[in-house]
């Protein structure tokens, strides 16, 4: 692929906006919807949307019989645990800080790949790890010094590590199926796990009228940030080099922070903004050069 179609390029920032504004949308939804219930509904709907897309494209949804366990473990770590932990993180901490901490995911994945898969550190990875550590220090030290480091931020960190563990499982034991098929089943597995948690901790949901703001946020979360965003993601990765497609994901924490300022009235501190810049730079250093090289090798 020598160059990307112009129209497809427009989808990259659109993805960043959809997933970025999902952060304040989820926080608003949580004001009236319990966290297990919200995640059970969101992941199940997203999974069913991907199933519908796959069927419309005539794509097989089959997974080799002997690979269901690895699919389920990776789905539990990178989808179910990740999403549920983030819901509780947003209930107990500012959404802007939770978004920044969560997107340390590539940093943890790099560390775990060294420990579990024996992948070597090169200069690019070391630079990314250094930037990421600096970003965490910018975020964490002022909070620890003032005694305001909350359990919600710990949930966000555990969520990012859980996602990284799921990535390592997928690398170590890959599933022989298309990406859309894997994502669809993992989302449905995540929805089932969250559904069990809902029944155990919250009980069966009782339908009720939502405030207009909550209803709008929930609609955006399900239709925009789940169904539409996943459809656009698989459209983007089918048409554009992986490195360019990844730019959309690097936008997410920045848009999430800005959305929290605009929609939730949060006021990040200067150390939060500096931490955001360093974390995004760390993720970009780790993700983009490798993916760009992979894309050139396939072009």
Structure tokens at 190: 């995540």
pLDDT tens-digit series, residues 123-156: 888 898 999 999 999 988 888 888 878 899 999 9
Percentage of the chain beyond pLDDT 70 is 90
Q: How confident is the model at residue 4 (pLDDT cuts 50, 70, 90)?
A: very low
Spatial separation of the C-alpha atoms in residues 100 and 272, rounded to whole Å: 8
Residue 14 lies inside a defined structural domain of this protein: yes
Are 236 and 5 within 8 A, CB to CB? no
Output the average pLDDT for the chain.
88
- Predicted pLDDT at 52: 92
Report the residue count for the chain. 299
Q: How confident is the model at residue 276 (pLDDT cuts 50, 70, 90)?
A: very high
- Predicted pLDDT at 51: 94
- Predicted pLDDT at 283: 85
Q: In a 10 Å sphere around its CB, with 0-12 CB exposed, 13-18 middle and 19+ buried, how is residue 72 labelled?
A: middle
Evaluate if residue 202 carries a pLDDT over 90.
yes
What is the number of structural domains in the chain?
1
Structure tokens at 47: 């999974």
Structure tokens at 296: 């050139």
Spatial separation of the C-alpha atoms in residues 140 and 286, rounded to whole Å: 22
- Predicted pLDDT at 231: 81
Residue 74 lies inside a defined structural domain of this protein: yes
Q: How confident is the model at residue 230 (pLDDT cuts 50, 70, 90)?
A: confident
Residue 291 lies inside a defined structural domain of this protein: yes
Residue 109 lies inside a defined structural domain of this protein: yes
Are 167 and 79 within 8 A, CB to CB? no
Q: How confident is the model at residue 67 (pLDDT cuts 50, 70, 90)?
A: very high
Structure tokens at 56: 């419309």
Residue 254 lies inside a defined structural domain of this protein: yes
Q: Is 258 left (phi over 0), alpha (psi -120 to 50) or beta?
A: alpha
Evaluate if residue 176 carries a pLDDT over 80.
yes
Residue 156 lies inside a defined structural domain of this protein: yes
Evaluate if residue 296 carries a pLDDT over 50.
no
Q: What is the pTM of this model?
A: 0.88
Range 43-67 average pLDDT: 92
Range 274-295 average pLDDT: 75
Range 99-125 average pLDDT: 89
Q: In a 10 Å sphere around its CB, with 0-12 CB exposed, 13-18 middle and 19+ buried, how is residue 140 labelled?
A: middle
Domain range for 171 = 6-298
Evaluate if residue 83 carries a pLDDT over 60.
yes
Higher pLDDT among residues 97 and 242, named by residue: 97
Evaluate if residue 295 carries a pLDDT over 60.
no
Spatial separation of the C-alpha atoms in residues 174 and 116, rounded to whole Å: 15
Residue 1 lies inside a defined structural domain of this protein: no
């Amino acid at each position: 692929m020598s160059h990307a179609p112009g129209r497809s390029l427009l989808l990259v920032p659109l993805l960043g906006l959809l997933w970025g504004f999902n952060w304040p949308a989820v926080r608003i939804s949580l004001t009236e919807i319990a966290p297990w219930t919200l995640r059970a509904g969101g992941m199940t709907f997203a999974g069913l949307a991907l199933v519908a897309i796959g069927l419309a494209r005539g794509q097989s949804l089959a997974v080799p019989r002997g690979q269901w366990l690895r699919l389920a473990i990776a789905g539990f770590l990178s989808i179910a645990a990740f999403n549920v932990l983030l819901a509780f993180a947003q209930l107990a901490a500012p959404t802007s800080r939770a978004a920044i901490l969560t997107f340390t995911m590539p940093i943890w994945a790099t560390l775990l790949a060294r420990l579990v898969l024996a992948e070597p550190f090169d200069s690019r990875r070391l630079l990314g790890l250094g930037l990421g550590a600096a970003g965490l220090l910018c975020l964490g030290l002022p909070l620890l010094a003032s005694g305001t480091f909350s359990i919600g931020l710990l949930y966000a960190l555990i969520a990012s590590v859980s996602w990284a563990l799921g990535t390592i499982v997928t690398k170590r034991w890959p599933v022989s199926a298309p990406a859309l098929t894997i994502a669809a089943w993992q989302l449905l597995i995540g929805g089932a796990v969250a559904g069990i948690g809902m029944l155990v901790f919250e009980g069966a949901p009782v339908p009720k009228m939502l405030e207009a703001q909550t209803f709008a946020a929930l609609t955006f979360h399900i239709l925009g940030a789940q169904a539409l965003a996943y459809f656009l993601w698989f459209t983007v990765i089918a048409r554009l080099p992986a490195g360019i497609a990844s730019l959309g994901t690097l936008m997410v924490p920045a848009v999430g922070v800005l959305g929290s300022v605009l929609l939730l009235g949060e006021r990040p501190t200067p150390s939060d903004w500096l931490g955001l810049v360093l974390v995004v730079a760390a993720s970009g250093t780790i993700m983009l050069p490798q993916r760009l090289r992979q894309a050139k090798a396939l072009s």
